[in-house]
């Protein structure tokens, strides 16, 4: 995979597909809240505020047009979570899907974990393309035959039928979180996973639902002394004893489960000293980390805070090795962003397959890619206007101040209601899924 955009050998991104309703009147239940490719990239799952999961499957490669990558079509749709009511606390529990994580495929069926604020569920998605026919005691429509009319016996056989994709909940992991779950992460041992809320991290075994181990607890004895919360956590991609969690103070802690049962003491603390010249009312808010992701290699860590993306080397704790400004022009607008609540938006970030490029979302349906190797970045837009089949996306530019050039957009004309919080990159290919409020855009690199 080459670079991020531009000419020459660089990747040029083309529109491939858009999923979701076209009309501007967005139903709240349709707001996409999470996007995740499966380990092979063949499946793409989205979760929405209404508790629904929609899975898209990549169609098999078209033999007559091998250079044109195939499209993603709806494979399965199911209601994962329903709204619930906690009678003890008089609180409604939202059905919004906060995170989806795929399990690696072990057999014909696919498995994924989906979570709302309180409950994690393991779903099995399986295909049925044949059914038994020729029962002796039943008609084909299911009605029972009169036994006296049965004169011969036959063995039922499987006959092909139209493909049916079934999703069934295999495990429900409930009642383990007092606060709102913000992350789940499957361990590389493929047997355990962790779930994280604001103050605690629990370790589960995929087969066991009635208990979990608490491995991190930062709840202070006196809640008045609370100064930070956990914002995200993830297992190391190949070291099954290692995980990291990020905090609202902008720090990341790496923990080793071999050290002790309770990982309150971190093995490493990644923290960059604050730049005093940037101090403001809102410094704490913008330094809060909204997402943390290991690189595929496991060597690097990426964190996203409100204005930037940082890459950390696991071997260096005192500062990130790379910092990319996502939308620095917003630094002077923090007060307005506080007023309209945008400052609380939690942007996610992702790596491409070979860890050379990272991607994250912004406002005005813009998303940004940073090529670490080539030290280049590009801003692209997910919009209906640039949605003609295979049309190449034009790089966008925001004018921070001064004279606005042609084709540039001024900061004041940015639409802060159009935010891209969730993006995903295919594990091997240059295919990306970008979620706007209620639409899922799929872009691919331009075929040669």
Partner 1 sequence: MEVNTEVKRIITLSLGKLYSSRSQRGGMKLHRSLLLSLVMRTARDIYHSARLASESGEWQPATAQSVQEQPATEEQMDTSGAQVETSAPQLTSPLDSQLSEVEKPGHPSYARSTEDEENRSPASPGCQSRKRRGKASAEPDFLPSKKARMETGGESPAIRCVGLRSSNVNSCRVGDTLTSVPVSLAIAAF
CA distance 44 to 434: 11
CA distance 426 to 42: 9
> Residue 242 burial by CB count (10 A; 0-12/13-18/19+): exposed, middle or buried?
buried
To partner 1, the closest distance from the beta carbon of 266 in angstroms equals 17
CA 369 to chain centre: 16
Q: What is the dihedral of CA 44, 48, 50, 51, to 10 degrees?
A: 50
To partner 1, the closest distance from the beta carbon of 135 in angstroms equals 43
Contact residues: partner 1, CB under 8 A = 88-94, 96, 117, 175-176, 178-180, 182, 198-199, 202, 210-214, 217, 219, 221-229, 231, 248, 262, 276-282, 284-285, 288, 334-335, 338-339, 341, 344
CA distance 108 to 101: 18
CA distance 309 to 284: 16
Q: Of 194 and 309, which CB lies nearer to partner 1 in the complex structure?
A: 194
Q: Of 352 and 438, which CB lies nearer to partner 1 in the complex structure?
A: 438
CB–CB of 116/51 below 8 Å? yes
To partner 1, the closest distance from the beta carbon of 257 in angstroms equals 14
Q: Of 116 and 430, which CB lies nearer to partner 1 in the complex structure?
A: 116
Q: Of 39 and 346, which CB lies nearer to partner 1 in the complex structure?
A: 346
To partner 1, the closest distance from the beta carbon of 96 in angstroms equals 8
CB–CB of 242/213 below 8 Å? no
Q: Token pair of 169, please? A: 């909940």
> What letters, b where the CB count within 10 A reaches 16 and e where it falls short, cover 31-69?
bbbbbbbbeebbbbbbbbbbbbbbbbbbeeeeeeeeeeb
Q: Of 57 and 231, which CB lies nearer to partner 1 in the complex structure?
A: 231
* Residue matched to tokens 């962003």: 337
Q: Of 232 and 431, which CB lies nearer to partner 1 in the complex structure?
A: 232
CA 377 to chain centre: 22
To partner 1, the closest distance from the beta carbon of 245 in angstroms equals 13
Contacts of 170 (CB under 8 A, 6+ apart): 111, 122, 123, 124
Provide the CB-side half-sphere exposure for 67 (13 A, CA): 4
Q: Of 7 and 276, which CB lies nearer to partner 1 in the complex structure?
A: 276
CA-wise closest residue to 232 among 245, 223, 213, 242: 245
Q: Of 242 and 246, which CB lies nearer to partner 1 in the complex structure?
A: 246
Q: Of 194 and 301, which CB lies nearer to partner 1 in the complex structure?
A: 194
To partner 1, the closest distance from the beta carbon of 225 in angstroms equals 6
Q: Of 136 and 175, which CB lies nearer to partner 1 in the complex structure?
A: 175
To partner 1, the closest distance from the beta carbon of 344 in angstroms equals 6
Q: What are phi and psi of 246, to 5 degrees?
A: -105, 160
Contacts of 52 (CB under 8 A, 6+ apart): 29, 77, 78, 79, 80, 97
To partner 1, the closest distance from the beta carbon of 160 in angstroms equals 44
To partner 1, the closest distance from the beta carbon of 366 in angstroms equals 24
CA distance 339 to 180: 24
To partner 1, the closest distance from the beta carbon of 106 in angstroms equals 26
CA distance 181 to 199: 10
Q: Of 329 and 338, which CB lies nearer to partner 1 in the complex structure?
A: 338
Tell me which DSSP letter residue 403 carries. S
To partner 1, the closest distance from the beta carbon of 328 in angstroms equals 13
CA-wise closest residue to 364 among 288, 434, 426, 260: 434
């Amino acid at each position: 995979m080459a670079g991020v955009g531009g000419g020459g050998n660089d990747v040029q991104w083309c529109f491939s597909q858009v999923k979701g309703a076209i009309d501007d009147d967005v139903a709240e239940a349709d707001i996409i809240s999470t996007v995740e490719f499966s380990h092979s990239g063949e499946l793409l799952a989205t979760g929405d505020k209404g508790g629904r999961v929609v899975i898209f499957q990549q169609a098999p490669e078209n033999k007559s047009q091998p250079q044109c990558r195939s499209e993603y079509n709806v494979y399965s749709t199911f209601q994962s979570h329903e709204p619930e009511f906690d009678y003890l606390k008089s609180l409604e529990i939202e059905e919004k899907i906060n995170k989806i994580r795929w399990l690696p495929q072990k057999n014909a069926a696919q498995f994924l974990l989906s979570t709302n604020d309180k409950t994690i569920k393991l779903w099995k998605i399986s295909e049925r393309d044949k059914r038994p026919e020729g029962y002796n005691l039943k008609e084909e429509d299911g009605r029972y035959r009169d036994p006296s009319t049965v004169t011969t016996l036959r063995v039922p056989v499987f006959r092909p039928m139209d493909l049916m994709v079934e999703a069934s909940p295999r495990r429900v992991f409930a009642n383990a979180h007092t606060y709102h779950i913000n992350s789940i992460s499957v361990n590389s041992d493929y047997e355990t996973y962790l779930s994280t809320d604001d103050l605690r991290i629990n370790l589960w075994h995929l087969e066991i639902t009635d208990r979990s181990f608490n491995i991190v607890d930062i709840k202070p004895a006196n809640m008045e002394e609370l100064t930070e919360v956990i914002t995200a956590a993830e297992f190391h991609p190949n070291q099954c004893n290692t995980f990291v969690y990020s905090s609202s103070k902008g720090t990341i802690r790496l923990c080793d489960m071999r050290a002790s049962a309770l990982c309150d003491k971190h093995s490493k603390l990644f923290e960059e000293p604050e730049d005093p010249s940037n101090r403001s009312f809102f410094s704490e808010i913008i330094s809060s980390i909204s997402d943390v992701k290991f690189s595929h290699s496991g060597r690097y860590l990426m964190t996203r805070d409100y204005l930037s993306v940082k890459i950390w080397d696991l071997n260096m704790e005192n500062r990130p090795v790379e910092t990319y400004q996502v939308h620095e022009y917003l630094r002077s607008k923090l007060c307005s962003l506080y007023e309209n609540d945008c400052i609380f938006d939690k942007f996610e970030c992702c790596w491409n397959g070979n860890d050379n490029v990272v991607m994250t979302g912004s406002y005005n349906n813009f998303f940004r890619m940073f090529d670490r190797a080539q030290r280049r970045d590009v801003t692209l837009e997910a919009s209906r206007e640039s949605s003609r089949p295979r049309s190449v996306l034009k790089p966008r530019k925001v004018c921070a101040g001064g004279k606005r050039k042609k084709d540039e957009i001024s900061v004041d004309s940015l639409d802060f209601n159009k935010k891209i919080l969730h993006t995903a990159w295919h594990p091997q290919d240059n295919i990306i899924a970008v979620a706007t409020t209620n639409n899922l855009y799929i872009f691919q690199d331009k075929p040669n």
